[in-house]
Amino acid sequence: MRGGLQLNYLQVCPRKLWLSAHHARMEADAEAVALGRLIHERSYRDRPRRSLLLENLIALDVLEDEGAVLEIKHAPTFVEAARLQLRYYLYFLWRRGVKQRGELRFPRQRRRETVELDAAAIAEVEAALEEAARITALSIPPTIPWTPACRRCAYAPMCWS
């Protein structure tokens, strides 16, 4: 695993990042993931958007009429993680010569946010990529204290049983 989702997991929980990078796949039966997938599929169907798979690595949605990379989340609970994920997608495109802006959207809250890639965002993404590589290279998962987010995490049975 690498890319935007990896950086999202880094922000949410480094242990979740490590477990996922080491092939523990717990999201398949997770209610929150299923809800997010449903909202993603059903939101903005009236808008012209296109899904792209880049280098067999990254799946992006692009709003064709606005020319923005779209990231849809069901709740703004982990908004910083969502911003970093979207910044990574913009960074990925920028490294390939494409300057793009992003739209982070929360349809249930009728909220949207423009995400741009500037020098600070580039530095943030590069630092996060280094930190994610460091964590995934560990021989055992990092120890993380329990947080309220752990209650709804798909990986909780692996962490707290």
Distance from C-alpha of 96 to C-alpha of 84, rounded to nearest angstrom: 18
pLDDT tens for each residue of the chain, 161 residues long: 467 889 999 999 999 999 989 987 766 566 666 556 656 566 666 665 667 667 777 777 776 667 788 888 888 889 999 999 999 999 999 999 989 999 998 888 889 999 999 999 999 999 999 999 999 999 999 998 988 888 888 888 888 76
What is the pLDDT at residue 50?
63
What is the pLDDT at residue 90?
95
What is the pLDDT at residue 5?
86
What is the pLDDT at residue 1?
42
∠ Cα 123 135 8 (to 5°): 60
What is the pLDDT at residue 45?
62
What is the pLDDT at residue 76?
85
Q: Can you give the residue ranges of every domain in the chain?
A: 4-147
Structure token pair of residue 105: 């959207």
What is the pLDDT at residue 39?
62
SS (H, E, C) the chain: CCCHHHHHHHHHCHHHHHHHHCCCCCHHHCHHHHHHHHHHHHCCCCCCEEEEEECCCEEEEEECCCCEEEEECCCHHHHHHHHHHHHHHHHHHHCCCCCCEEEEEEHHHCEEEEECCCHHHHHHHHHHHHHHHHHHCCCCCCCCCCCHHHHHCCCHHHHCC
CATH 3.30.1180.10 correct for 4-147 = no
